Amino acid sequence: MSATGTPRVVVIGAGIVGANLADELTERGWSDVTVLDAGPLPLPGGSTSHAPGLVFQTNPSKTMAEFAQYTVRKLSSLDVDGARCFDPVGGLEVATTAERLHDLQRKIGWAQSWGVEGARLVDPDEVVWLHPLVDRDRVLGGLHVSTDGLATATRAVVALQRRAESRGARFVGSTRVTGVESAHGRVTGVRTASGVVPADVVVSCAGFWGPAVGDLVGMTVPLLPLAHQYARTGQVRSLVGRTAGTAEARLPILRHQDADLYFREHGDRLGIGSYAHRPMPVDLADLDDSAGATPASMPSMLPFTEEDFAPSWADAVALLPDLAETKVEEAFNGIFSFTPDGGSLVGESPDVRGFFVAEAVWVTHSAGVARAVAQLLVDGGSDTDLHELEVSRFEAVQTTPEYVRETSQQNFVEIYDVLHPLQPRTSPRGLRVSPFHARQQELGAVFTEGGGWERPLWYEANAALLEEVPPAWREPEREPWAARFHSPVVAVEAWRTRTAVALYDMTPLRRLRVDGPGALALLQGLTSNQLDRKPGSVTYTLALDAAGGVRSDWTVARLAAAEFQVGVNSGIDEDLLRRAAREQGERHPELGAVDVRDVTGGTCCVGVWGPLARDLVQPLTRDDFSHAGFRYFGARRAVVAGVPVTALRVSYVGELGWELYASAEHGAALWDALFAAGRPLGAVAAGRAAFSSLRLEKGYRLSGGDVTTEHDPYEAGLGFAVKLDAGDFVGRDALLRKAGTSPRRRLCALTVDDRRSVVLGREPVFVAGGADAVGYVTSAAWSHTLGTPVATAWLPTDAAEVGTAVEVEYFGRRIAATVAAEPLVDPGMERLRR
Ligand code: FAD
Ligand code: THG
């Protein structure tokens, strides 16, 4: 601790992220902050030192769009001796294809959902009015966002450094961190050529050097440094005299995504960035880190490879014909970071406490990410949901050099592509398959990928049954966009689940064993429900953050007094449990040891669900699977078809049935036995598409989708899983403080009035006839049971009353919908408890 009683913080890296973090920490009273950079200040030579600073705020991710909005707000309030750090010149994305033009409407929807102001579709005349260099005949229209603009990142770094220093921070240049010191699993300082700088908290903001700094503590930082071409033209006559005074730009920043290009003005020249070239991965070991004294020798700037730029130059001239009179004058291949899913990386080392990273962050999101990290450090949680950024979101197989290299390059290639929300990656595939995989292939499974797993979306074999599906259960033909990665066959699988029985491969559902005398105390202290129940019971419970926000929802099966199987949502949950177990062991050794183990690999799970589930399973076992003998939310070990299983009577699709867990080597035998026994009952194999639709109908929440840390359990409709008298747990105090206050918003079910128009998620929701979005869709599906499209949406309380008429905007079209009572299907729980 420092003299002031706040932790001593070392920030590695004085780029836009490190500088913002020092500012945000000192603003919160953590004044003992030292920012170290290997390069000279204020231009240490990282990506920030040459970033052109385009800030397009609109993003499919709510979190990233909010971070961008904060960056705009914050940088707009900063200056260096009167020179501004943000120019709100506006952002313009042009469409040169019908597909792009159509997609811009989806983007406007995101802007409305996440509160990005000033977004509207413009016609070709207006495109040219906004950006006179554009060839009117080339464009079909554009998306204009008046609040987008240009960040002058290097100037912002200076302003942030000054402000942070005025509050006590120190910035030290030309000082490389060569080691991280730790004791008893906690960081104690960083090593440099001039000695050790003591620290209680170290945050690596090393940009694309992240993996090298991570190596110092044995932390895998799954990012790939890639080179990206940026060129400046010579003088363009039509630009002369347009900018005046200190302004470097008046024209809106411009994207030409159909050619993977973006543009900004530099006085009377244009800057052109290209993603059209081959991916150019960079090996950190090849960089000349001794460079950095002059901009021309920055380690993050590699020599321009002209031949890679040639097609882009032709495309640039085609869109902006005035460029024909000039040529590229200065250009380089600049280095930045890409990740396996395109997201930033924030989080703490699993092994060395107090060592954090905040990397793979664009200038666009830098202030927002820094604010969230500062909140995380100072307050224990951020008010913006961070699960999309958490380093622990990746599965082990997704952090291998091979995976990171391939997927990050693919993300570079696809960065400006029109991507469907359900579009699976094409490679690498087949990294994880369940023991049922061969059977699934025989049944014509159409697979998607998630967490490295192959997951059936639906089974083509079921197409043979389509004729039998009663008309009321079928779905009318979808419009082309919503029809992608979807099939009418899903109707068969949903119908058979609700009327007969179906087999679902639940193997990828992450499960942990939490065992030992301290296990109950650990789980009880970490989640909201009463878990001290008889062995053989399953409890649905919530992992909250300190502010009472929902981090995740778990099913905790108590298999024996000190043995628990916990069904979780992702690696973030495992990370959380491991940290808490370690802390409990240190602080409360008297509670006894706890062992947390991921048992997902090596085991498998099949969900047997439907009104005939008991008729299918009971004949295969001597154990009692009757309603009285095996209660809803019960768990037991049993033998099914000669295979030892752990059976949980739970169902995310809201039907009678069980999750049957077995050791992986028994998987195929178990599947075959269930399938054969099910055939006379009309059993089918069913995939993710039916699964998602059925769970939505039942009103079950998808953690990270419907509900995040931004929501408390009550507004999410999950108050039933909170037992404030279950002893102390993380988030309990925050919930107690909320007692008596009424929620501002609610998660609601919507049904679509025309009973046809399917939406997909993230669309803005309006009160009927309203001009401004009041909420947004989280999940959506066709409900086969009800014969209408349905959705889940966050709405302010006054628009959340059942019967309220709302509109969902889908590609610019307002679709009338109505707030409906939850759950949409089986409110009386008769299907589950029989
Ligand atoms: P950096 O600025 O790279 O800072 C990291 C710092 O860490 C460096 O100064 C480095 O010297 C220091 N460091 C590393 N290792 C050590 C060590 N061991 N000890 C001490 N110090 C160390 N983003 C946008 O939002 N909009 C754009 O228009 C845009 N255009 C771009 C164009 C190009 C050509 C490139 C290459 C990038 C562009 N980006 C853009 C991305 C953006 O530049 C980066 O994402 C951002 O600058 C990253 O900031 P940072 O602070 O994380 O990293
Ligand atoms: N199965 C198992 N574990 C899981 C999931 C699962 N863990 C992660 C995720 N899915 C958790 N999500 C849910 C959401 C709802 C329910 C189960 C898991 C559920 N809810 C009942 C309800 O809302 O009526 C709970 C009723 C009760 O508490 O008694 O069934 O799919 N193993």
Render pLDDT for 164-190 as a digit per residue (tens, 0 to 9). Answer: 999 999 999 999 999 999 999 999 999
Hunting for tokens 């909420």 — which residue is that?
Answer: 775
- The minimum-distance atom of ligand 1 relative to the CA of 359 is 52
CA 38 to the chain's CA centroid: 31
Q: How many residues does the chain have?
A: 834
Q: Would you state the pLDDT for residue 292?
A: 47
Nearest Cα residue to 710 out of 388, 386, 385:
385
Q: Which CATH number fits domain 511-598: 2.40.110.10, 3.30.70.1400, 3.40.50.170, 3.40.309.10?
A: 3.30.70.1400
What is the enclosing helix (H) or strand (E) of 515? strand 511-515
Q: Would you state the pLDDT for residue 739?
A: 81
Q: Is 262 one of the catalytic residues?
A: yes
> What is the dihedral angle through the alpha carbons of 526, 527, 528, 530, rounded to the nearest 10 degrees?
-100
Computed on alpha carbons and rounded to an integer, the radius of gyration of the chain in Å comes to 28
Backbone angles phi, psi at 197, to 5 degrees: -100, 115
Where along the chain do its domains lie?
Answer: 83-148+225-337, 437-507+603-694, 511-598, 742-834
Distance 539 CA to ligand 2 centre (A): 8
- The minimum-distance atom of ligand 2 relative to the CA of 659 is 32
Q: Is 758 in the pocket of ligand 1 (CB under 6 A)?
A: no
Render pLDDT for 485-535 as a digit per residue (tens, 0 to 9). Answer: 999 999 999 999 999 999 999 999 999 999 999 999 999 999 999 999 999
Q: Would you state the pLDDT for residue 592?
A: 96
Confidence of residue 245 (pLDDT cuts 50, 70, 90): low
pLDDT tops 60 at residue 291: no
409-437 b/e (C-beta count within 10 Å ≥ 16 → b):
bbbbeeebebeeebeebeebeebbbbbbb
In terms of C-beta density within 10 A (0-12 exposed, 13-18 middle, 19 or more buried), how is residue 140 classed? Answer: middle
Average pLDDT over residues 326-351: 97
pLDDT tops 60 at residue 538: yes
Q: Is 567 in the pocket of ligand 2 (CB under 6 A)?
A: yes
d(CA 410, CA 401): 14
Q: Which of 553, 573, 598, 712 is catalytic?
A: 553
Q: Is 275 one of the catalytic residues?
A: no
In terms of C-beta density within 10 A (0-12 exposed, 13-18 middle, 19 or more buried), how is residue 41 classed? Answer: middle
pLDDT tops 90 at residue 144: yes
Q: Would you state the pLDDT for residue 286?
A: 85
447-480 b/e (C-beta count within 10 Å ≥ 16 → b):
bbbebbbbbbbbbebbeebeeebeeebbbeebee
Distance 301 CA to ligand 1 centre (A): 11
pLDDT tops 80 at residue 3: no
DSSP 3-state of 456: strand
CATH T-level fold of 83-148+225-337: D-Amino Acid Oxidase; Chain A, domain 2 (3.30.9)
- Is residue 52 reached through a cis peptide bond, with omega within 30 degrees of 0 on the bond before it? no
Q: What is the pTM of this model?
A: 0.97
pLDDT tops 90 at residue 69: yes
d(CA 321, CA 128): 12
pLDDT tops 60 at residue 345: yes
Q: Would you state the pLDDT for residue 293?
A: 47
d(CA 528, CA 542): 5
Helices (H) and strands (E) in the chain, counts: 18, 43
Average pLDDT over residues 345-364: 98
DSSP of 176-228, one letter per residue? ---EEEEETTEEEEEEETTEEEE-SEEEE--GGGHHHHHHTTT-----EEEEE
Distance 170 CA to ligand 1 centre (A): 20
Q: What is the mean pLDDT of the chain?
A: 96
CATH number of the domain at 437-507+603-694, please?
3.30.1360.120
Render pLDDT for 405-424 as a digit per residue (tens, 0 to 9). Answer: 999 999 999 999 999 999 99
DSSP of 40-108, one letter per residue? PSS--SSGGGG---EE----S-HHHHHHHHHHHHHHHT-EETTEESEE---EEEEE-SHHHHHHHHHHH
CATH superfamily of the domain spanning 742-834: Aminomethyltransferase beta-barrel domains (2.40.30.110)
Q: Would you state the pLDDT for residue 178?
A: 97
Q: Is 137 one of the catalytic residues?
A: no
Average pLDDT over residues 686-699: 98
CA 121 to the chain's CA centroid: 27
Q: What is the token pair recorded at 87?
A: 């120019």
- The minimum-distance atom of ligand 1 relative to the CA of 153 is 47
Residue nearest to atom 19 of ligand 2 (CA): 652
Render pLDDT for 362-394 as a digit per residue (tens, 0 to 9). Answer: 999 999 999 999 999 999 999 999 999 999 999
- Is residue 42 reached through a cis peptide bond, with omega within 30 degrees of 0 on the bond before it? yes
Q: Would you state the pLDDT for residue 110?
A: 98
Q: Is 652 in the pocket of ligand 2 (CB under 6 A)?
A: yes
d(CA 598, CA 606): 18
Residue 353 DSSP symbol: B
pLDDT tops 50 at residue 96: yes
Confidence of residue 2 (pLDDT cuts 50, 70, 90): confident
- Portion of the chain with pLDDT greater than 70, in percent: 98
Q: Which ligand is nearest to the CA of 202?
A: 1
Contact by Cβ (8 Å): 158, 49: no
- The minimum-distance atom of ligand 1 relative to the CA of 213 is 18
Average pLDDT over residues 760-765: 98
CA 468 to the chain's CA centroid: 39
pLDDT tops 60 at residue 290: no
In terms of C-beta density within 10 A (0-12 exposed, 13-18 middle, 19 or more buried), how is residue 266 classed? Answer: middle
Q: Which of 511, 633, 652 for a ligand 2 pocket mutation test, highest count of atoms within 8 Å of Cβ?
A: 652
